[in-house]
Amino acid sequence: MPSAKVKKLLGWYGQMVLIREFEDACDRLFWEEKQITGVYLHLYSGHEAVGVGALAALTERDHVITAYRDHGIALARGLDVGACMAEMMGRVDGTSGGKGGSMHLADRSRNFWGGYAIVGGHLPLAVGIALASQYRGEDEVTLCFVGDGATNNGYFHESLNMAAIWDLPMVWLIENNFVAMGTRVEKHAGEPELHKRAAAYGMKSLGRVDGQDVQAVHDITRQAVKYARNKGPVLLEALTYRYKGHGVSDRSYDQRFAAELAEYRESKDPIELLKRKLLQAGHADETSLGEIEAVQQEKVKEAVAFAAASPAPSEEHLYQNVYVETERA
């Protein structure tokens, strides 16, 4: 029987493979099979260790919110794979009834608040969620993922400032993949060491972590969550790498960043790094990891079949969740 620690690592391996497989399927469903349509599809491939490592540091009662690169975070939070895929395809069984699409996965039952398209727009919402926890005296932490580009948005300043002055129980986790659409962090940020921004708000910073190392991300996020639960907000920065273009409309990323992409894929891939660690420590062999991979591939296959069989929302759905129904006195 594997120890609890090994079980945890194997679980993370499975989650990371699930995310990679899910994103590969989305890519295929968009470009080849044309079952995912529209102009927005931002894949999480390459970032897996950040989402998986960080979310493993939360309890179920904690809250999670992110931007539009949300598939991997939704899956790591345990959202139903079929419902996520149905949302991608705009089907009624999707997490948002098929009306949100790729950028708007959400599930209140898991305290996963989405999925937001406006850069930085979810940061004030994160403050609101954490303020509600504090106001109600609930022992909950809000984890907010932030893109490197989003740190230059006015929302970032206002939200971190408010979190600091109100001592809100929150963790701000910057996923620095070095590029905002196509602009490198050194070109878009006056201070490219983004974790240093905490100083401007008198906020606790835990500095930078290697976002390709799932264990390292987990350890530092655990520390951050503990601090946030007892003392107040924390900022930390994970260095990671995006394998695909900004979204499906970004067609030249592969050529522009070819050398760096190859380097990450060959020697810094988060899944391969964990695989190597498991093999070297004798915690797993190729066969047992292959079995885990096959289970995740099957899950994605079933999710695609489930989504394909789900109908599109009807005209009546168009009017649902638009206005709050209230009783008139």
Ligand X SMILES: Cc1ncc(C[n+]2csc(CCOP(=O)(O)OP(=O)(O)O)c2C)c(N)n1
Binding interface with ligand X (CB under 6 A):
69, 117-119, 147-150, 177, 180-181, 246
Q: Which of 55, 64, 59, 73 is nearest to 18 (CA)?
A: 73
Q: Residue 68 CB, nearest distance to ligand X (Å)?
A: 7
First to last CA, the chain: 63
Q: Residue 325 CB, nearest distance to ligand X (Å)?
A: 31
Q: Residue 42 CB, nearest distance to ligand X (Å)?
A: 6
Q: Residue 10 CB, nearest distance to ligand X (Å)?
A: 28
Q: Which residue is nearest to ligand X (CB)?
A: 147
Q: Residue 48 CB, nearest distance to ligand X (Å)?
A: 14
CA separation for the pair 284, 67 (Å, rounded)? 35
Nearest residue (CB) to ligand X, 140 versus 148: 148
Nearest residue (CB) to ligand X, 10 versus 49: 49
Please report, to the nearest 10 degrees, the dihedral formed by the alpha carbons of residues 157, 159, 160, 164 taken in order. 130
CA dist list (Å): 296 to 16, 52, 142, 222, 328: 9, 15, 28, 26, 50
CA dist list (Å): 181 to 69, 204, 248: 12, 29, 11
Nearest residue (CB) to ligand X, 148 versus 293: 148
Q: Residue 119 CB, nearest distance to ligand X (Å)?
A: 4
Tokens of 282: 């004798």
CA separation for the pair 14, 278 (Å, rounded)? 12
CA dist list (Å): 208 to 68, 108, 237: 23, 30, 5
Nearest residue (CB) to ligand X, 14 versus 149: 149
Nearest residue (CB) to ligand X, 96 versus 177: 177
Would you tell me how many other CB atoms lie within 10 Å of the CB of residue 260? 13
Q: Residue 5 CB, nearest distance to ligand X (Å)?
A: 31
Nearest residue (CB) to ligand X, 213 versus 237: 237
With contact defined as beta carbons under 8 Å apart, do 65 and 125 qualify?
Answer: yes
Nearest residue (CB) to ligand X, 84 versus 289: 84
CA dist list (Å): 129 to 135, 136, 143, 170, 222: 10, 11, 10, 9, 20
Would you tell me how many other CB atoms lie within 10 Å of the CB of residue 200? 12
Q: Residue 76 CB, nearest distance to ligand X (Å)?
A: 15
Nearest residue (CB) to ligand X, 103 versus 300: 103
The identity of residue 71, as a single letter, is H
